[in-house]
Amino acid sequence: MHSNYQTPEELLAEESFYCWYLKNDQDAVAKWDNWINTDPARLALAEEAVALLKSLRLKEAPVPGAQADAAYSRLQENITKKTTPVVKMPRRRWWMAAAVIVILVMAGVKYVGFFTAAVATQYGQIKEQQLPDGSEVTLNAHSKISYSNS
């Protein structure tokens, strides 16, 4: 707490001043009573801050206990009823999606296979092969070469 408060707003910015106003913290009450009583100008500033605080406080109508209990019960009931909705895809769509994936995979394999060729040799076999670009390859026993048809 510093003593150079100039405006009521500066007083209201102090949490301990609000505690003094509510009289719920005895240390704050003692400090602010001491601060206020040492200078008449401080008393006027504190009164101005209290008036501003009173004008800003909302007047809330008390809620009957039975009404609060009923609202709490409804809230608890709604919380237990509400579950996260699970969006289920119909089985037919799952099968269709799976079929499309299988077709795409097979088409991809055929597409890649259409453009590639392979030559292989067995154990103990040596083979010479001419590739589409005119180059020649000699394959040793139990070996394989793949190349693009283009």
- pTM tops 0.75, yes or no: no
Tokens of 123: 């154990």
Q: How much is the pLDDT for 150?
A: 65
Tokens of 96: 């269709």
**CA-based nearest residue to 8, from 54, 56, 51:** 51
Alpha-carbon distance of 48 to 108, in angstroms, equals: 82
CA distance between the termini of the chain: 87
Where do the domains of the chain lie? Answer: 8-56, 103-148
Instruction: Please identify which residue in the block is written with the tokens 């996260």.
Output: 84
Q: How much is the pLDDT for 115?
A: 64
Report whether pLDDT(114) > 70. no
Cβ distance 17 to 32 under 8 Å? yes
